Structures are given as C-alpha cells and as structure tokens.
Chain A
C-alpha cells in the first residue's frame, strides 16, 4: 500500500527564516510526486510535479527536490503570504491516476 508521511506537522518561521519540509514515501514504482499548497477554506493549488530522483523544480521562493525515498520543499526567505498547508502526494503506475496524499505541513510565517 502506498504511504506518504510529511514532517513536521506544523512549522512556524519568522519572515526571512529559510527551512525545509519533508515528504517521505513508500510506493511500488513512482510515477510522480506532487506538491500542493492549500489555503484555509480552499482547494489545493498545484505547485510542482517531480518524476525521478535528482529532479528539482523551482517557483519563486519554493524549490522542490526528489530522492528515491523522499522529497523536500525548500522555502527560501519566506514571507507571511507563504503561510498555508503544504501537501505532498504520490502516484504509482497502474493506479489510474489515483493520488495518495500525506497529512500536510501547516506553515505559519510571522513578521
């Protein structure tokens, strides 16, 4: 059974204080690993897809990396508007596009 574990559950940073969120996964052959941002009361917003170990993707202050067992979402010099829950999900081959989600990391960035 595919499993996704995210850590920490919650993270509080000061503005400008860089950090990383972790997503560990167990899947029988990874078809893709996905990062989403979810604001309260809204649906998840797609951020990145990573397909193979060693791959990296960047968007503004966010950078996602992937190894064979985990992915990191690095947040550089965060701002208060980066506050949200960040979700990680994996897709295995032959699962008809089914995504298995982790429980997320709640990030709060303060002034």
Chain B
C-alpha cells in the first residue's frame, strides 16, 4: 500500500482567497486523484491529476476554480481558488495501487469564512 501525506491538514481561509493543498506519495504511482467530501456526505471525484499534462475534470468542476498540478509520479497539488463558504469541505488526495484499489491521504479540512 502507498502512504499518502497531505498538507495542510486543516485551514480557515477568508472568502476570495486561494489555498493550495499538497499531496506527497511515498512511492511512484500511476494515477492520482482529488476528491471532495462535504459535511455528512460521501466522496465526489473532482479530477484525475495527470503527470505532465492537464488534469481531467469531472462534470461540475473546472480548471479555473480547481487548478491541479502533477509535476512527477509522487506529488500533486490542488488549489481552491477564489473561495466562498460553499467550498468548505474536506479535500482528499488519492493514489491508485497495483490492483486498482485507491489509497487516501488524511484529508484537508477547509473552512471558508
């Protein structure tokens, strides 16, 4: 299994600002993903982070709002831009293992005030 480290673990941000979340995996992985988990709800995929190319976004999520970078096989960042209170959520980084199972980081709890 892969060990995934995310930072920050939590943050409180002012509306209109941006926050960049970092995700580091302890081994090279084929695929990395970013999920959002809103209070009391399940996980929703934001995008697939592609190494060396633009991320693939799911319906309802756009690059201008959630720019993603993946410069190598072990690291990715997600930026939440121009934040509003509706962006308050837990953001989770995930990496795909050898047999398609996904491993998750501890998450970043974001509160926008």
A: which residues have CB within 8 A of B?
Answer: 31-32, 34, 36, 41-46, 49, 87, 89, 91, 96-99, 101-104
Contact = CB atoms under 8 A, between A and B. Distances in A.
B12 to A, nearest CB: 15
A43 B90 CA distance: 9
Interface string B98-113: 0111111111010000
B9 to A, nearest CB: 9
Nearest to A34: B101
B42 A96 contact: no
B100 A32 contact: yes
Q: Interface size class for chain B?
A: 20 to 34
Contacts, number: 59
B53 interface: no
Contacts of A101: 42-44
B68 to A, nearest CB: 15
B31 A96 contact: yes
Given A43-B92, A103-B41, A34 B102 contact: yes
Contact of B100 (A41, A97, A104): A97
Contacts of A102: 42
